[in-house]
Chain A
Amino acid sequence: MLSLIKGQLLKQAYNVPLLFQIENLHLTSALAAWQSNRQPRKWLKYNKVIYPPQLPDEERRPAFVCHQRTNIKYSPWKMWYVACLIRGMPVDEAIRQLKFVLKKGAKDVRETLEEAKELAVKEHNVEFPSNMWVAESMVGKGEVIKGYRRHARRRFGKVEYFHCHYFVRLEEGTPPKDYYQNAPKEPQEQLANWLASMRKRKINNSL
């Protein structure tokens, strides 16, 4: 860059085009070699998927928005607890609960949810932003900055500064009754299942 400018100045001074060797052709700063600018991009690609048109009798596919926030300065293992809290909640309820969570990551999660609500209305054809629920809420490990610290008696310890990515998918509609589907079945349902399994029995190699 500097050599190019020098060349131009010389050209103007002597009015003759000069050919010279460029010593440094660095287009990025030297610090970039130490930085990793890789961001997770796959999650946001789900937003760009175009589904085929649905048949009139098919169940309507609910609108959804995928949003993320990268390189939050918080441990991913601690952030996981916050992400797990809001799974399967309506968005407004999730934001309300996060106000009273005494963790550093709760603030970032709350801001991400609010951004996702706005995006849903602007870009994903969602009518009422409050009519959404948290379908997926996940954490990934981000950039890790490493260092060392001293201890007594000539010992050393490794110091790691963790960052995390937070991914969330909001879906339109009311949330299901149990997100993890761990609830025990109703007695009627249990009876129906038992009856069906009894009727499915067959004596092998019989007529």
Chain B
Amino acid sequence: MAASLITRVNLALQRLDHAIAAFFNKGFPPDGFCIAATNSEVYPQPPSNNITINDIIGDGFLWAVPRNRRTIEKRWKRRFGHPDYVLKILLPRKNLRVCNVCGDDHEVGVLCPTCYKKVIDETKEMQDAIQNELRLSPVEKEVVVLYDGEKNEKPSEYWQGKRVVEMKKSRPAWFSKNLLQQTTQQPATTTDVKPSDLG
């Protein structure tokens, strides 16, 4: 009877102990059970695929990035250049002149482009006329280019040893006849100098 009383008291004390422990552990198992480990193999986890940026770019990450702020001097140098090296700012040009004939502007030392274009176009027309006239025959005689009404000014014997190319238009005002005078001329017999064939 005493033994059962002692065991009953022991049991009661144990239960009290467990109750207090349970109260303080707040739902967790008692200390004796806390060593138990779970088997993680029962729950299959997906394979960890933590891909970092380093895997994609490798050692190239953070290479092409500015390290220091660009100073204002460097910015000015890039935008404006330097007079001693390469000047990037555009400066007004002082070598421009006005053409006396047409009024357009041109650089010093250069023919006025608008006037010269007229000459280029006229030359092209003359060349086309010569090409059409001569075609593939060899050029053995002197080739003379004439405009409207100029062939009748001279007698037909004048044109004997020459290939005449007629242009089907009137002579332009700026194209005077003496421009096509030949440079190789016979030495002069007289000392008088007379202007000839002025247009």
Interface residues in chain A, defined as those with a beta carbon under 8 Å from any beta carbon in chain B? 81-82, 84-85, 89, 93, 96-97, 99-101, 103
| Interface residue from A81, A82, A97 paired with B92 (Cβ < 8 Å) | A97
Asked whether, in the complex, the Cβ of B105 is within 8 Å of the Cβ of A84, the reply is no
* CA of A90 to CA of B96, assembled, Å: 16
Chain A residues in 8 Å Cβ range of B53: none
* CA of A101 to CA of B105, assembled, Å: 13
Asked whether, in the complex, the Cβ of B107 is within 8 Å of the Cβ of A85, the reply is no
Asked whether, in the complex, the Cβ of B89 is within 8 Å of the Cβ of A96, the reply is no
> Contacts A96-B105, A99-B105, A100-B107: A82 and B93 contacting too (C-beta < 8 A)?
no
Asked whether, in the complex, the Cβ of B89 is within 8 Å of the Cβ of A100, the reply is no
Asked whether, in the complex, the Cβ of A100 is within 8 Å of the Cβ of B90, the reply is no
Tally of chain B residues near chain A (CB < 8 A)? 9
> Contacts A99-B105, A100-B107: A85 and B92 contacting too (C-beta < 8 A)?
yes
Residue pairs across A and B with Cβ atoms less than 8 A apart, 18 shown, are A81-B88, A81-B89, A82-B90, A84-B89, A84-B90, A85-B89, A85-B91, A85-B92, A89-B92, A93-B92, A96-B105, A97-B92, A97-B93, A99-B105, A100-B105, A100-B107, A101-B90, A103-B90
* CA of A115 to CA of B191, assembled, Å: 61
Chain B residues in 8 Å Cβ range of A85: 89-92
Chain A residues in 8 Å Cβ range of B91: 85
Closest Cβ of chain B to A102, distance in Å, is 10
Asked whether, in the complex, the Cβ of A100 is within 8 Å of the Cβ of B96, the reply is yes
* CA of A85 to CA of B92, assembled, Å: 7
Interface residues of B in 161-199 (CB under 8 A from A): none
> C-beta contact mask, B63-92 vs A, less than 8 Å → 1, else 0?
000000000000000000000000011111
* CA of A100 to CA of B94, assembled, Å: 11
Closest Cβ of chain B to A122, distance in Å, is 24
Chain B residues in 8 Å Cβ range of A82: 90
Most A CB contacts (10 A, CB to CB) among B89, B92, B96, B107 go to: B92
